[in-house]
Structure 1
């Protein structure tokens, strides 16, 4: 049985996933998640995901953004010892962060497809919009766990590709809306 590959992330209403946590990630409106009133229940999805996550996956840029902070973060302590995979053709082995569990560099989409065929539970992709688009175009993503925020950013990295491809149908597995305008949308890819 193949492992599920799940993209999880914060997204603006116009589909931008760029820099939700701050300007250091590069977007001029970075930190847009914090402009929305904090309602704890709107983030309950993140706690639910921790229970299901058996491994993490990142693109190189997201790995380089998260790796200096997540190993010592109280909010991410549950991820510390989980296996991590970084999909990059350029990241060197000596650039990997120590004391953050086993990290493996995958060099291609084919490597990701092979990993999915192995034993284990769900692999969650955090950040990594470019990687998510590439893996979606290769039909490797199985689910999308999205928290959609009531903002329009107009520009930035989009989760979804604009490539001309065959229709990809999704099944709404779960949804909820919260008093701060955030909407939870959990979709399964229909194959």
Structure 2
């Protein structure tokens, strides 16, 4: 049985919107506002090497699919199975990509894997997965920024208490903090 991991670049105030680019007024905040420290990204390299598959929402898929296939640093992601949860996407062009129509299908994929199923970006999907009890772990790189507005990882409209256990952490010279949490069941 696989482990579903939500992995995010997140600001101190919980915003995950447009960390590398996009429509947010401060899009690209991970590299435009914070000095690069290679050590802070070790987690991302490890994720790519350990993942069995990647899970995306449609919007994240549409942002990643035109760019990631040409990036040599994402060779493992490009080769692995990718799943997109969408009611509208019909013909994904990114190599080895399948469309899932429901969270029940996500649960079946997760159960069929021998390694982690990684959710990159996709805040709305991550919220739905958490509400359905499918998230096992969070990998967060917390950036020392307050954006104030934008999509947040943790939705305040649901009255859901989730207890998390810190299993790994590290602070870096640029102020980024790695925080890895297991969902306590």
TM-score with structure 2 setting the length: 0.96
Distance in 1 between the 2:155 and 2:108 partners? Answer: 23
Q: What secondary structure, in the 3-state scheme, does the structure 1 residue paired with 2:42 have?
A: helix
Matched residue, 2:24: 27
**8 Å contact 1:137–1:161 — kept in the other structure?**
no
Structure 1 unaligned blocks of 5 or more: none
Residue 163 of structure 1 deviates from its aligned partner by: 3.2
Structure 2 unaligned blocks of 5 or more: none
Q: What secondary structure, in the 3-state scheme, does the structure 1 residue paired with 2:87 have?
A: coil
Matched residue, 1:17: 16
**Which aligned pairs between 1:54-133 and structure 2 lie closer than 5 A?**
54-93=52-91, 96-98=92-94, 100=95, 102-133=96-127
In 2 relative to 1, CA 46–115 (structure 1 residues): closer, same or farther, beyond 3 Å? same
In 2 relative to 1, CA 113–160 (structure 1 residues): closer, same or farther, beyond 3 Å? same
After TM superposition, what 4+ stretches of structure 1 lie above 2 angstroms from structure 2?
Answer: 163-166
**8 Å contact 1:42–1:178 — kept in the other structure?**
yes
**8 Å contact 1:86–1:104 — kept in the other structure?**
yes
Distance in 2 between the 1:77 and 1:141 partners? Answer: 25
Distance in 2 between the 1:117 and 1:76 partners? Answer: 25
Q: What secondary structure, in the 3-state scheme, does the structure 1 residue paired with 2:52 have?
A: strand
Q: What secondary structure, in the 3-state scheme, does the structure 2 residue paired with 1:92 have?
A: coil
Distance in 2 between the 1:119 and 1:42 partners? Answer: 28
**May I ask how many residue pairs the two structures share in their alignment?**
184
Residue 92 of structure 1 deviates from its aligned partner by: 1.2
Matched residue, 1:149: 143
Residues 156-182 of structure 1, C-alpha deviation per residue, up to 9 Å, x if partnerless?
A: 000012133342100101000011000
Within the alignment, does 1:160 sit opposite 2:154 as a pair?
A: yes
Matched residue, 1:7: 6
TM-score with structure 1 setting the length: 0.93
Residue 121 of structure 1 deviates from its aligned partner by: 1.1
Residue 188 of structure 1 deviates from its aligned partner by: 0.4
